[in-house]
Amino acid sequence: MSKLPSYRQPSACQGRSNCAACSLREDMVCADVPLDDVVGFHTQAVDYRFPPGTIMQNTHGPVEAVYCVRQGAVKLVKYDANGGQRIVRVMKRGDVVGIDWAFSGSAESTAVAIGEVHACRIPVDFFRQFTARHADLQIRLLRKSQEALREVELWLAQLVGGAIPARVRVARLLLRLRDGDGERIHRLSNEDLGAILGLTEETISRVIAGFLREGMLERAGSSLAARYLRADIAALERVAGQD
Amino acid sequence: MSKLPSYRQPSACQGRSNCAACSLREDMVCADVPLDDVVGFHTQAVDYRFPPGTIMQNTHGPVEAVYCVRQGAVKLVKYDANGGQRIVRVMKRGDVVGIDWAFSGSAESTAVAIGEVHACRIPVDFFRQFTARHADLQIRLLRKSQEALREVELWLAQLVGGAIPARVRVARLLLRLRDGDGERIHRLSNEDLGAILGLTEETISRVIAGFLREGMLERAGSSLAARYLRADIAALERVAGQD
DNA sequence: CGTGTACTTGAGTGGGCTCAAGCAGGGTGG
DNA sequence: CCACCCTGCTTGAGCCCACTCAAGTACACG
């Protein structure tokens, strides 16, 4: 019945034989590294696929690899005493998951695949050696780290604000989940949206139901499980503007 | 009347003549840089003092320098449309204020001195040259950046959580504002505490009044303007634990 | 002594949480 | 093929915490 390949374990991608052909090379961290060096790299970092929900790194678990995301998204989650989850970061195409635990040696959050994820897997030891040898790569990583910091600060200021009403916060988050510049919006579960904003599942549901009713949002595709929403961007921006 | 020196402008510190004598050298970013190079550095980066409330960098303002904090604290603030402020980071002794704007060329937040701040001022141009030449320094900066990221993620998860009651949040924040390992707690204004937690000034006041009443907190020093509080750490941790 | 700033305290309201039930879709196994 | 369950989403009723608005106080400074 299913048209998707059935895979239960991450599987190596056989489609590409080296990084020279990688369409992402410009965007990736290794952009500045000479191609000759990357070839050695490539024997380590093959392109893997991770099914939805795969736990790529556990909090305080053994640190084995870092990942360059090529497609899909990865969430970094922290759990509180009651088992409630809080998403502290979402990493997308071109981001490097695990710089933090590669350097510190211990992971302070859990990394989970949202939807299907394609990523290059680089063993930490190799990653450490490799970065130590390439100054350009260090600069790249520093920039990535700064970008991440900027993103999280934006979350703090605009998304999780105390007095900001739920409607506004959800609108702002949806706008940040756009697929490129189009009107398609990446659809996370209500639970995940809540875990990002610090709101409950129910509140998210009510707010989004409101947007649907007002015609600012509609489900793309027929089924409930559609991976995207179609949005009236201008209308969302109007809601997001009022604080 | 005032026993403090009166200064309206940042003033250079005359007490030290070079970085070799700097008691902070081990902690600072430049720890790995050979002393010979630091001497050149020193002609640029003298030790400045900034009076409370000094704006060290304006949002979207011209970028002129980065600062190594030697004493005191600096807050990074974002303002929303209504003029409400949100503190996204607090930088303390040993932190480098402005890595982000030095690299990106534009500041996304305003940096303000909390209390009196002692800091080394390094012009951005010099900073860029200097970091480009020293690989060790890049690694250091990367680590600093990662530390900051970790800190902000912690804020997201434990401080600004949606369902977490104000009492718990304030207790957790106070514990993070400890002066070393003692029972002294750095006293910020209620407004600042609120801007960190996403709560109103009034709520902060009520919660702290509660702690004072219950004896978990007492004002250090006689006056209201005391820069510190004395806390029953164990009691605070008990409150902070319940979520 | 008067002014300004920061903090305190009170009364009332409302938005989002909690608890609880109901519903739709997808996968599984008989 | 259908009955079943399980997960994710929806909707409702009631409550409580933190916000809002508004006075009032204490201290610092000129």
A108 contacts B146? CB cut-off 8 A: no
Model confidence pLDDT, tens digit, residues B139-162: 888 999 999 999 999 999 999 977
Model confidence pLDDT, tens digit, residues A112-128: 998 888 888 888 988 88
Q: Tell me the C-alpha distance between B80 and B83, whole Å.
A: 5
A152 contacts B156? CB cut-off 8 A: yes
From the CA of A66, how many Å to the C1' of C4?
A: 56
Nearest neighbour of B146 by CB, restricted to A103, A138, A152: A103
- Residue B89's DSSP bridge partners are B76
Model confidence pLDDT, tens digit, residues B56-80: 999 999 999 999 888 889 999 999 8
Model confidence pLDDT, tens digit, residues B77-108: 999 887 789 999 999 888 899 999 999 999 99
Phi–psi pair at A110, nearest 5 degrees: -100, 135
Q: Using alpha carbons, list the distances in angstroms from residue B215 to A132, B235, B241.
A: 52, 9, 18
Model confidence pLDDT, tens digit, residues B174-199: 999 988 788 889 889 999 999 999 99
Whose tokens are 């009107």? That residue is: A183
What is the average pLDDT across B99-121? 91
- The pLDDT assigned to A49 comes to 86
Scan residues 154-173 of chain B and list those with Cβ within 7 Å of strand D: 165-167
Token pair recorded at residue A55:
């736990």
Q: Tell me the C-alpha distance between A136 and A127, whole Å.
A: 14
Q: Cα dihedral sign for A124, A128, A131, A133?
A: negative
Token pair recorded at residue B69:
């904090």
Of residues A102, A93, A11, A92, the one with CA closest to residue A64 = A102
Model confidence pLDDT, tens digit, residues A118-154: 888 888 988 888 888 877 788 888 989 999 999 999 9
Q: pTM value?
A: 0.85
- The pLDDT assigned to B84 comes to 86
At residue A39, does pLDDT exceed 60? no
Share of chain A above pLDDT 70, in %: 78
Q: Which chain B positions have a beta carbon within 8 Å of A100's beta carbon?
A: 146, 149-150
- The pLDDT assigned to B6 comes to 37
Phi–psi pair at A50, nearest 5 degrees: -120, 125
- Tell me whether strands B85-91 and B47-50 are parallel, antiparallel or unpaired: unpaired
Model confidence pLDDT, tens digit, residues A161-188: 778 999 999 999 999 998 878 888 988 9
B153 contacts A109? CB cut-off 8 A: yes
SS3 of B200, please?
coil
B149 contacts A100? CB cut-off 8 A: yes
Stretch among A178-182, B163-167, B200-204 having the lowest mean pLDDT:
A178-182
Whose tokens are 């040696």? That residue is: A105
| Protein residue at shortest CA distance from C1' of C14 | A165
Q: Tell me the C-alpha distance between B192 and B199, whole Å.
A: 10
B81 contacts A163? CB cut-off 8 A: no
Crossing angle of the two packed helices B135-154 and B124-133, in degrees rounded to 10: 110
Nearest neighbour of A153 by CB, restricted to B104, B152, B197: B152
Protein CB footprint (7 Å) on chain C nucleotides: 6-11, 15-20, 24-27
Protein CB footprint (7 Å) on chain D nucleotides: 8-12, 17-22, 26-29
- The pLDDT assigned to A126 comes to 84
B141 contacts A142? CB cut-off 8 A: yes
Top residue of A60, A99, A153, A200 to mutate, by most chain B CBs within 10 Å, is: A153
What is the average pLDDT across A177-204? 92
What is the average pLDDT across B15-39? 52
At residue B116, does pLDDT exceed 50? yes
Distance to chain B for A27, nearest Cα, Å: 17
Strand D contact at CB of residue B4, distance < 7 A = no
Three-state SS across chain A?
A: CCCCCCCCCCEECCCCCCHHHCCCCCCCHHHHCCHHHHHHHHHHCCEEEECCCCEEECCCCCCCEEEEEEEEEEEEEEECCCCCEEEEEEECCCCEECHHHHHHCCCCCEEEEEEEEEEEEEEHHHHHHHHHHCHHHHHHHHHHHHHHHHHHHHHHHHHCCCCCCHHHHHHHHHHHCECCCCCEEECCCHHHHHHHHCCCHHHHHHHHHHHHHCCCEEECCCCCCCCEEEECHHHHHHHHHCC
Q: Tell me the C-alpha distance between B193 and B206, whole Å.
A: 13
Q: Which chain B positions have a beta carbon within 8 Å of A163's beta carbon?
A: 84, 198, 200
Q: Identify whether the C-beta of residue A190 lies closer than 8 Å to the C-beta of residue A224.
A: no
